[in-house]
């Protein structure tokens, strides 16, 4: 199979390394930005202080000290620790340690927030909520992708019809983000009619039966998905349809028709297949922006994912969680990029042989 | 671009209704912005917005906009303010000397109440001038049916506020009074405002059927002042439920101010960010495509790094940690977007354009690199890029709104996002105060729509492949 | 008339654009015997490509008028419905070799896959069989069979053109439509392809419609010549007669603009440009550029038959 060709593998390896490199630099940039006000340092320092005073307090050898002596001891150990960890040197030295931690996802402990199980490990807090975000947004994006593809293909055949004009008219709806419509969806369906939930992922208390649980989750997914569909379907259908129109009157489609190939094959192999690489590129950009849109959407719908976590952490000024989330997002973006570039490579043979300078990446 | 082409473009643009609507909206926003900046300068607006309750005290809390009355069958009350410092009809004040240094003071407020709904609040403010002995007052309330009720007797200090509507003791007294009068027991706690303003018949027994007694109301104060130079002024606020053209928020502030100021903020932020980012992207993409090889690789790698940096979370992080002003926020947004993903799209276009014969010709007669970039490559490509620049303005308007919504926007300037955040924070949806959410949302929506309509039409005009359709 | 292999009568194709209706093929008539080649000559924009595409019923999206009679071996193609046309005519009886082969091949499919498509899809041939036929045909055209596994962008223009010609030959068509098959190629490759066409003509004897703007090129293959101007055929003549002594003023001017190798000739050109197909002028469409025009030319010139069924559209040829 073509995919197994060494040239393709070499290309993907090269891309993979570059993407990884980008992610690493992005994470480092995050560390630098986060500490521009000495913020990260502050967090670490107060953690150290807490750890030191705790360990001193718990050490039986020091039990008989009075308050002043005790405090002095803690100060001494604390300052030693700071020196040991390089706090007397410029930040740049420490930044590499933080960088290593961030890259290995050793994200430290939260200040105020905690996970369901009560742990303060930032990694755990995030890991708990990540699957929920993936569930909701992967579903949304897949639905939108297919609506756009099928709708766009169908609409491109009816160019100039009433349907075409109606869809074109509704395209500006997408200038308002999905969560914006979400607010109104809640107003209408939850507040006014009361038939769908205000937010959250499952009913409270959650049903114990697995099937009912799944149904409950589905019920809670209706409004978020609906709001995004209203916002983005028309735009997706319109841009796909435009793509198809631009490419379907191309010479190779005419030639395929002259070859006596049936319409279904022409649509699939000549129109769809040639345009697919560009659609994937477009989709990747939409996917990336959806990660961003997810933040507010989750907040509006109280969906327990990493977006609403970011909101909560922002409100609580929980620095470690915020920084940890930015790192996670960077990784998510890198992974998404890589998957989509692989797809593009499979679909467009020009990339594999020409060293990848033509296409998107 | 030659002026003829520009004129032709505009002519084509005007044939599209959607573009006209978009342009009108944008024009409207510009006019509103200019008006706002002149009539309500930045410093004044910020002052007003941060001013405490003392400044806004005469406004009702969470009032609907005045035009709501057009759609409502029940006429909602407007605020009535009567103060003895400003004598007019309905206000009278008299000081009658009695014995020695003692005088009797009588202040009378009367107003005609013809609304169908109860006021939202009833407050009485006193300002007294005296040395040692505080005046002693009795406050009376007279309903249109002539009944005189004593509200309270008190000695006041130099600034005294009597929040009549939340006086629980008074509420109970009044409830008992009505209960006795009707010879019925009343099952619910009648609020003070109901007791003072309602028709006292069986309708008052049920909170759903309480009716307003319309007519002339009087509040009169009879007091004794114990010093010769002592004086007393009172202000009565009968707070309505509607105010202004936009209503008020939880701090009694006129939302209209924020709606007005949101316009220049949104426009400035959106358009500036959009233009500066687009231009930096275009120039970088052109340089990347023209010089190829190392410079190209270098720029592309940096772009990829920026692409992996998650934009919104990073913005939120910056906003949370550093609490920047709006201007600094704008700078941060631009800094993060100089190398954005658009560079790749633009670069693909430039890669095509650089093969055009006229570019080769320019190279052949010795045009310098930057001359070619600035005068040959970019102008050729610019028309096709204009639609996307216009279309990106709403994204930045909403970015600012989102940051405000998440609570990390500029705390000083009132913006549309800030109003929505206030509304959510203070439970607008649960209390049914829809106007509080809808008004700024509508402004955001209209602004975005304006640019979107214009942008999509421009796309139809400028996109070369669509031209034949 | 009935023994003609291809007989096109009053063939019309118009399509609509935002600026109006384009009369691309405006009442075209000509015919061919079996194995003959007719060269359709004209400037760009005169509608010759539209003619070819319309004959194989690849119509623009906004076609408005499509009528006439097209008899192929007695069968009126215009009466067939789309499904029948697709199944029995396209790439079965008629093949089409487009202008600029560069864009006509699908960049994301391998050459081999594209070559065997008609056989596999329509004739239900097996993949293996079809690939064998493809390989053989490619070889006969001088293309190595390893190119079956390559992508179009890996081939030069000349090779792509050969691939498309090979695709045509694989089904042994009765009629081949060649739309400027060499216009985007360099002179050497052009000569190669022309030699190829001559070989094919001799061996397979298909009927061919050879569309070109290059008058001298057309003489290599043509048995008959049809000159197209502004969507109409202004002269339909026997090839020998045409190249020696063209009748229509336009044809004459075309010939005068061709450089000859051995005689000293004053080269001429035709001033002006052809009228737009959007609103062709009333009367003779060439009159604005015709050095022999006179007052009668403001009326539509009638068809004057020369010999047999050859004709010319010009007032100058009308006796009396």
CA distances from B243 to B17, B253, B425 (A): 36, 10, 21
Q: What is the pLDDT of residue A351?
A: 58
Angle at B87 between CA B82 and CA B90, to 5 degrees: 55
DSSP secondary structure of A231-267: HHHHHHHHHHHHHHHHHHTSHHHHHHHHTT--HHHII
Q: What is the pLDDT of residue A212?
A: 84
Residue C145 makes CB contacts below 8 A (sequence gap 6+) with: C134, C135, C138, C139
**Is residue C106 less than 8 Å (CB to CB) from chain A?**
yes
**Chain B residue numbers touching A183 (CB-CB < 8 A):** 437, 441
**Is residue B4 less than 8 Å (CB to CB) from chain A?**
no
**Which of B316, B429, B434 has the CB atom closest to A314's CB atom?**
B316
Calpha distance C282→C297 (Å, rounded) = 9
Percentage with pLDDT > 90 across chain B: 7
Query: Are A337 and B320 inside 8 Å of each other by CB?
Result: no
CA atoms within 13 A on the CB side of A127: 10
Strands of the sheet with C6-17, listed across from one edge: C20-32, C6-17, C63-72, C75-76
Residue B22 has pLDDT above 50, yes or no: yes
Q: What is the pLDDT of residue C1?
A: 46
Q: Where in chain B is the domain with CATH 1.10.3720.10?
A: 2-52+254-468
Model pLDDT for residues B421-448, shown as the tens digit of each residue? 888 888 777 777 888 888 898 999 999 9
Q: What is the pLDDT of residue B66?
A: 85
Q: What is the pLDDT of residue C215?
A: 85
Question: What's the CA dihedral at A28, A32, A34, A40 to 10 degrees?
Answer: 100
Residue B1 has pLDDT above 70, yes or no: no
CA atoms within 13 A on the CB side of C48: 29
Residue B152 has pLDDT above 60, yes or no: yes
Percentage with pLDDT > 70 across chain C: 98
Mean pLDDT of the region A267-275: 81
C59 and C66 Cβ atoms separated by less than 8 Å? yes
What CATH fold (topology level) applies to the domain B68-239? Jelly Rolls (2.60.120)
Find the length of chain A: 361
Percentage with pLDDT > 90 across chain C: 20
* Min distance B258 CA to chain A CA atoms (Å): 19
Q: Pick from C54, C99, C106 the residue to mutate for testing the A interface (most A CBs within 10 Å).
A: C106
Calpha distance B412→B211 (Å, rounded) = 43
Q: What is the pLDDT of residue A143?
A: 92
Its ipTM equals 0.86
In A227-246, which positions are buried (b, 16+ CB within 10 angstroms) versus exposed (e)?
bbbbbbbbbbbbbbbbbbbb
CA distances from C166 to B309, B322, C132, C139 (A): 52, 69, 13, 9
Q: What is the pLDDT of residue A356?
A: 38
Calpha distance B463→B454 (Å, rounded) = 14
The residue of chain A nearest to residue B302, with distances taken between CA atoms, is A22
Residue C198 has pLDDT above 70, yes or no: yes
SS3 of B251, please? Answer: coil
Mean pLDDT of the region C38-55: 86
**Is residue B294 less than 8 Å (CB to CB) from chain A?**
no
Residue B298 has pLDDT above 70, yes or no: yes
Q: What is the pLDDT of residue C211?
A: 92
* Min distance A145 CA to chain C CA atoms (Å): 22
A310 and A294 Cβ atoms separated by less than 8 Å? no
Residue B268 has pLDDT above 60, yes or no: yes
What backbone torsions phi and psi does residue B185 show, to the nearest 5 degrees? -90, 140
Residue B196 has pLDDT above 80, yes or no: yes
Question: Is pTM beyond 0.80 here?
Answer: no
Quote the strand ranges of chain C, DSSP E: 6-17, 20-32, 37-41, 63-72, 75-76, 94-97, 175-179, 207-212, 224-229, 232-238, 303-305, 311-313
What CATH fold (topology level) applies to the domain C6-35+46-81+213-317? Rossmann fold (3.40.50)
Within a 10 A sphere around the Cβ of B251, how many other Cβ atoms? 17
Residue C225 has pLDDT above 90, yes or no: yes
Q: What is the pLDDT of residue B197?
A: 87
**Chain C residue numbers touching A357 (CB-CB < 8 A):** none
C240 or A169: whose pLDDT is higher?
Answer: C240
Query: Are A255 and C154 inside 8 Å of each other by CB?
Result: no
B78 and B200 Cβ atoms separated by less than 8 Å? no
Residue B173 has pLDDT above 80, yes or no: yes
Residue B273 has pLDDT above 90, yes or no: yes
Q: What is the pLDDT of residue A1?
A: 44
What CATH fold (topology level) applies to the domain A122-316? MetI-like fold (1.10.3720)
Query: Are A353 and C167 inside 8 Å of each other by CB?
Result: no
Could you say which architecture CATH assigns to the domain B2-52+254-468?
A: Orthogonal Bundle (1.10)
**Is residue B237 less than 8 Å (CB to CB) from chain A?**
no
Find the length of chain B: 469
**Chain C residue numbers touching A249 (CB-CB < 8 A):** 60-61
Which range has the worst mean pLDDT, A332-336, B409-413, B452-456, C115-119? B409-413
Q: What is the pLDDT of residue A350?
A: 65
pLDDT confidence band for B382 (50 / 70 / 90):
confident
* Min distance B313 CA to chain A CA atoms (Å): 6
**Is residue B6 less than 8 Å (CB to CB) from chain A?**
no
Q: What is the pLDDT of residue B275?
A: 93
What is the β-pairing status of strands C207-212 and C37-41? parallel
Name which of C268, C168, C194 is nearest C39 in CA terms.
C194
Mark residue B218 as left, alpha or beta (left: phi above 0; alpha: psi -120 to 50; beta: remaining): beta
Q: What is the pLDDT of residue B409?
A: 78
Computed over every residue of chain A, the mean pLDDT equals 79
Residue C13 makes CB contacts below 8 A (sequence gap 6+) with: C24, C25, C50, C51, C54, C59, C63, C65, C66
Within a 10 A sphere around the Cβ of A15, how many other Cβ atoms? 20
Query: Are A172 and B308 inside 8 Å of each other by CB?
Result: no
Work out how many CB contacts closer than 8 A connect A with B. Answer: 128
**Which of C90, C95, C121 has the CB atom closest to A265's CB atom?**
C121
Q: What is the pLDDT of residue C208?
A: 93
Hey, which chains touch A, using 3+ CB pairs under 8 Å? B, C
Work out how many CB contacts closer than 8 A connect A with C. Answer: 76
Query: Are A261 and C153 inside 8 Å of each other by CB?
Result: no
Query: Are A350 and C53 inside 8 Å of each other by CB?
Result: no
Strands of the sheet with C232-238, listed across from one edge: C94-97, C175-179, C207-212, C37-41, C224-229, C232-238, C311-313, C303-305
Calpha distance A288→C181 (Å, rounded) = 46
**Which of C96, C100, C103 has the CB atom closest to A258's CB atom?**
C96
**Chain C residue numbers touching A273 (CB-CB < 8 A):** 106, 108-109
The residue of chain C nearest to residue A252, with distances taken between CA atoms, is C104
Q: Pick from C55, C56, C88, C104 the residue to mutate for testing the A interface (most A CBs within 10 Å).
A: C104
Query: Are C86 and A159 inside 8 Å of each other by CB?
Result: no
Element (H, E) at C193: helix C187-204
Mean pLDDT of the region C53-58: 91
Which range has the worst mean pLDDT, A167-181, A193-207, A347-361, B430-444? A347-361
Query: Are B316 and A319 inside 8 Å of each other by CB?
Result: no
Residue C97 makes CB contacts below 8 A (sequence gap 6+) with: C161, C164, C165, C168, C176, C177, C178, C179, C181
Residue B234 has pLDDT above 80, yes or no: yes
Residue B135 makes CB contacts below 8 A (sequence gap 6+) with: B105, B128, B155, B156, B223, B224, B225, B226, B230, B232
Model pLDDT for residues A26-74, shown as the tens digit of each residue? 888 887 877 776 766 777 777 778 778 777 777 777 777 777 777 888 8
**Chain C residue numbers touching A277 (CB-CB < 8 A):** 108
Residue A193 has pLDDT above 90, yes or no: no
**Which of B321, B437, B469 has the CB atom closest to A183's CB atom?**
B437
Within a 10 A sphere around the Cβ of A17, how many other Cβ atoms? 10
**Chain A residue numbers touching C61 (CB-CB < 8 A):** 159, 249
* Min distance B448 CA to chain A CA atoms (Å): 6
Model pLDDT for residues B72-85, shown as the tens digit of each residue? 788 888 888 888 88
Q: What is the pLDDT of residue A360?
A: 35
**Chain A residue numbers touching C96 (CB-CB < 8 A):** 255, 258
**Chain A residue numbers touching C90 (CB-CB < 8 A):** 257-260
Query: Are A317 and B320 inside 8 Å of each other by CB?
Result: yes
Query: Are C122 and A260 inside 8 Å of each other by CB?
Result: yes
Q: What is the pLDDT of residue A3?
A: 47
Query: Are A34 and B453 inside 8 Å of each other by CB?
Result: no
**Is residue A361 less than 8 Å (CB to CB) from chain B?**
yes
Calpha distance A207→A5 (Å, rounded) = 50
Computed over every residue of chain B, the mean pLDDT equals 85
Which residue ranges make up each domain of chain A? Answer: 1-112+317-361, 122-316
Model pLDDT for residues A96-150, shown as the tens digit of each residue? 777 777 777 777 767 677 777 777 778 888 888 888 888 888 889 889 989 988 8
**Which of A254, A261, A274 has the CB atom closest to C117's CB atom?**
A261
Q: What is the pLDDT of residue A359?
A: 35
* Min distance B250 CA to chain A CA atoms (Å): 20
Query: Are C153 and A348 inside 8 Å of each other by CB?
Result: no
**Chain C residue numbers touching A256 (CB-CB < 8 A):** 106, 117
Mean pLDDT of the region C281-290: 85
B350 and B290 Cβ atoms separated by less than 8 Å? yes
**Chain A residue numbers touching C134 (CB-CB < 8 A):** none
B447 and B266 Cβ atoms separated by less than 8 Å? yes
- DSSP lists the bridge partners of residue C228 as C233
CA atoms within 13 A on the CB side of A344: 24
C13 and C197 Cβ atoms separated by less than 8 Å? no
Calpha distance C66→A101 (Å, rounded) = 72
H/E/C letters for each residue in B126-160? Answer: EEEECCCCCCEEEEEEECCCCCEEEEEEEECCCEE
Query: Are C105 and A259 inside 8 Å of each other by CB?
Result: no
Quote the strand ranges of A127-257, DSSP E: none
Calpha distance A107→B207 (Å, rounded) = 57
């Amino acid at each position: 199979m073509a995919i197994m060709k060494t040239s393709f593998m070499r290309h993907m390896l090269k891309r993979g390394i570059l993407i990884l490199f980008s992610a690493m630099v992005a994470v480092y940039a995050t560390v630098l930005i986060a500490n521009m006000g000495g913020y990260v340092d502050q967090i670490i320092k107060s953690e150290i202080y807490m750890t030191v005073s705790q360990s001193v307090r718990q050490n039986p050898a020091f039990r008989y000290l009075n308050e002043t002596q005790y405090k002095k001891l803690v100060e001494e150990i604390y300052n030693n620790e700071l020196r040991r960890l390089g706090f007397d040197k410029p930040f740049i030295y420490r930044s590499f340690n933080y960088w290593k931690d961030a890259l290995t996802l050793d994200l430290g402990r939260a200040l105020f927030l905690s996970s369901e199980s009560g742990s303060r490990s930032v990694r755990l807090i995030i890991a708990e909520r990540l699957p929920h975000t993936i569930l909701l947004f992967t579903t949304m994006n897949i639905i939108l992708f297919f609506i756009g593809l099928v709708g766009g293909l169908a609409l491109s055949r009816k160019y100039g019809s009433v349907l075409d004009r109606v869809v074109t008219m509704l395209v500006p709806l997408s200038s308002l983000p999905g969560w914006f419509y979400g607010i109104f969806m809640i107003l209408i369906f939850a507040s006014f009619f009361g038939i769908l939930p205000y937010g959250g992922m499952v009913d409270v208390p959650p049903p114990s039966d697995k099937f009912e649980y799944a149904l409950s989750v589905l019920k809670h997914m209706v409004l978020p998905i609906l709001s995004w569909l209203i916002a983005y379907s028309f735009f997706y259908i319109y841009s796909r349809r435009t793509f198809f129109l631009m490419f379907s009157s191309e010479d190779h489609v005419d030639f395929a028709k002259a070859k006596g190939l049936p319409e279904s094959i022409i649509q699939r192999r000549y129109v769809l297949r040639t345009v697919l690489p560009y659609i994937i590129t477009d989709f990747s950009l939409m996917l990336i922006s959806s990660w961003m849109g997810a933040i507010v959407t989750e907040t509006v719908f109280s969906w327990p994912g990493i977006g609403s976590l970011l909101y909560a952490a922002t409100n609580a000024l929980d620095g470690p969680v915020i920084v940890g989330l930015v790192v996670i997002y960077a990784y998510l973006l890198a992974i998404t990029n890589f998957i989509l570039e692989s797809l593009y490579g499979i679909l467009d043979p020009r990339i594999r042989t020409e060293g990848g300078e033509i296409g998107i990446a | 671009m030659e002026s003829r082409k520009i004129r032709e473009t505009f002519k084509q643009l005007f044939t599209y209704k959607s573009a006209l609507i978009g342009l009108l909206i944008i024009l409207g926003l510009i006019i509103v912005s200019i008006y706002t900046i002149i009539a309500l300068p930045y410093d004044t607006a910020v002052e007003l917005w941060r001013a405490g309750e003392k400044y806004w005290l005469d406004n009702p809390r969470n009032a609907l906009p005045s035009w709501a009355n057009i759609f409502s069958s029940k006429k909602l009350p407007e605020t009535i303010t009567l103060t003895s410092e400003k004598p007019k009809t309905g206000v009278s004040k008299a000081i009658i000397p009695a014995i020695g240094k003692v005088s009797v003071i009588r202040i009378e407020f009367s107003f005609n109440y013809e609304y169908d709904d109860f006021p939202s609040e009833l407050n009485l403010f006193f300002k007294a001038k005296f040395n040692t002995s505080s005046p002693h007052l009795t406050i009376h309330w007279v309903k249109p049916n002539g009944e005189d009720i004593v509200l309270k007797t008190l000695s006041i200090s130099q600034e005294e506020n009597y929040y009549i509507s939340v006086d629980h003791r008074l509420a109970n007294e009044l409830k008992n009074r009505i209960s006795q009068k009707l010879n019925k027991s009343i099952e619910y706690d009648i609020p003070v405002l109901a007791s003072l303003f309602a028709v006292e018949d069986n309708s008052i027994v049920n909170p759903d059927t309480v009716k307003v007694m319309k007519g002339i109301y009087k509040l009169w104060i009879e007091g004794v002042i114990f010093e010769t130079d002592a004086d007393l002024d009172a202000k009565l606020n009968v707070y309505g439920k509607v105010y202004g053209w936009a209503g008020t928020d939880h701090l009694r502030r006129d939302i209209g101010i924020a709606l007005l100021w949101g316009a220049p903020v949104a426009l400035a932020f959106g358009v500036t960010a959009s233009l500066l980012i687009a231009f930096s992207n275009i120039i970088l993409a052109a340089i990347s495509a023209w010089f190829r090889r190392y410079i190209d690789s270098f720029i592309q790698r940096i772009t990829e790094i920026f692409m992996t940096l998650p934009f919104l979370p990073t913005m939120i992080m910056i906003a949370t940690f550093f609490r920047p002003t709006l201007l600094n926020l704008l700078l941060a947004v631009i800094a993060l977007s100089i190398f954005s993903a658009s560079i790749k799209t633009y670069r693909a276009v430039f890669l095509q354009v650089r093969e055009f014969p006229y570019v080769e010709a320019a190279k052949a007669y010795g045009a310098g690199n930057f001359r070619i970039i600035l005068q040959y490559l970019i102008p050729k490509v610019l028309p096709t890029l204009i639609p996307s620049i216009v279309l990106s303005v709403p994204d930045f308007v909403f970015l600012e709104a989102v940051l405000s919504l998440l609570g990390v926007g500029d705390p000083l300037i009132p913006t549309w996002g800030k109003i929505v955040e206030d509304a959510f924070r203070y439970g607008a949806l649960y209390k049914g105060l829809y106007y509080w959410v809808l008004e700024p949302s509508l402004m955001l929506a209209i602004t975005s729509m304006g640019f979107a309509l214009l942008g999509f039409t421009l796309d139809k005009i400028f996109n070369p492949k669509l031209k034949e359709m | 008339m009935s023994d003609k292999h291809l007989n096109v009568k009053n063939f019309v194709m118009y399509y609509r654009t935002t600026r109006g209706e384009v009369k691309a093929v405006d009442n075209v008539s000509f015919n061919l015997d079996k194995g003959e080649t007719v060269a359709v000559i004209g400037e760009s924009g005169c509608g010759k490509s539209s003619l070819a595409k319309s004959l194989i019923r690849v119509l623009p999206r906004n076609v408005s008028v499509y009528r006439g009679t097209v008899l192929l071996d007695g069968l009126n193609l215009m009466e067939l419905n789309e499904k029948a046309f697709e199944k029995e005519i396209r790439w079965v009886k008629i093949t089409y070799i487009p202008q600029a082969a560069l864009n006509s091949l699908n960049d994301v499919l391998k050459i081999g896959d594209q070559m065997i498509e008609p056989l596999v899809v329509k004739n239900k041939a097996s993949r293996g069989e079809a690939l064998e036929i493809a390989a053989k045909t490619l070889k006969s055209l001088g293309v190595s069979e390893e190119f079956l596994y390559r992508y179009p962008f890996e081939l030069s223009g000349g090779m792509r053109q050969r691939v498309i010609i090979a695709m045509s030959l694989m089904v042994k068509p009765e009629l081949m439509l060649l739309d400027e098959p060499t216009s985007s190629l360099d002179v050497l490759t052009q000569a190669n392809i022309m030699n190829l066409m001559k070989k094919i003509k001799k061996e397979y004897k298909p009927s061919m419609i050879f569309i070109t703007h290059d008058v001298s090129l057309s003489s290599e293959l043509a048995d008959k010549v049809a000159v197209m101007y502004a969507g109409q055929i202004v002269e339909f003549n026997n090839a020998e007669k045409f190249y020696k002594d063209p009748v229509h003023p336009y044809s004459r001017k075309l010939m005068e603009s061709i450089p000859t190798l051995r005689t000293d000739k004053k080269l001429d050109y035709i001033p002006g440009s052809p009228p737009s197909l959007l609103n062709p002028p009333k009367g003779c469409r060439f009159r604005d550029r015709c050095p022999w025009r006179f007052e009668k030319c403001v009326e539509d010139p009638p068809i004057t038959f020369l010999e047999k069924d050859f004709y010319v559209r010009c007032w100058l040829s009308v006796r009396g």
